[in-house]
C-alpha cells in the first residue's frame, strides 16, 4: 500500500495510521458556512391549504395503510426487524 506521496508502506503501525487517516478524511464533515440567503434551498412555496393538512392529527387508519403498503422484507431501521414483524405485532 502507498501513502499520499506514493511511498510504499510496509510497517504495520504506519499502515494502520494510513487507513485511519483515509477514513477520517472520507467521513469528516466539510466545514462550510451557510449563506444568509437560503432561498436556493427551498425554491418552492408551501401553500396554506397544504400547511393545514400537515398540521392534522395522523389517524390510526393512515398508519395502518402506510405500514401495510410496505414490502414485508424491508427493515425500517438497523435493528433488523422487518415490516412483516411489525405487521403481525
Q: Residue 43 has what pLDDT?
A: 64
Q: Do the beta carbons of residue 49 and residue 58 sit within 8 Å?
A: no
Q: How confident is the model at residue 60 (pLDDT cuts 50, 70, 90)?
A: very high
The grid coordinates listed for 59 are 389517524
- For residue 31, pLDDT beyond 70: no
pLDDT of 51 > 80? The answer is yes
Whether this prediction's pTM lies above 0.85 is answered by no
pLDDT confidence band for 32 (50 / 70 / 90): low
Q: What is the DSSP letter of 81?
A: -
Beta strand ranges found along the chain (DSSP E): none
**DSSP character at residue 76:** S
Q: How far apart are CA 37 and CA 39, in angstroms?
A: 6
Q: Where are the domains of the chain?
A: 1-32, 48-88
What tens digit of pLDDT does each residue of 36-45 get?
666 677 767 7
Amino acid at each position: 500500500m502507498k501513502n499520499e506521496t506514493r511511498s510504499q508502506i510496509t510497517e504495520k503501525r504506519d499502515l494502520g495510521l494510513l487507513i485511519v487517516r483515509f477514513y477520517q478524511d472520507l467521513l469528516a464533515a466539510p466545514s462550510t458556512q451557510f449563506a444568509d440567503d437560503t432561498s436556493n434551498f427551498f425554491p418552492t412555496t408551501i401553500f396554506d391549504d397544504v400547511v393545514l393538512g400537515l398540521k392534522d392529527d395522523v389517524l390510526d387508519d393512515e398508519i395502518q395503510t402506510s405500514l401495510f403498503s410496505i414490502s414485508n422484507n424491508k427493515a425500517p431501521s438497523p435493528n433488523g426487524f422487518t415490516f412483516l414483524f411489525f405487521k403481525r405485532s
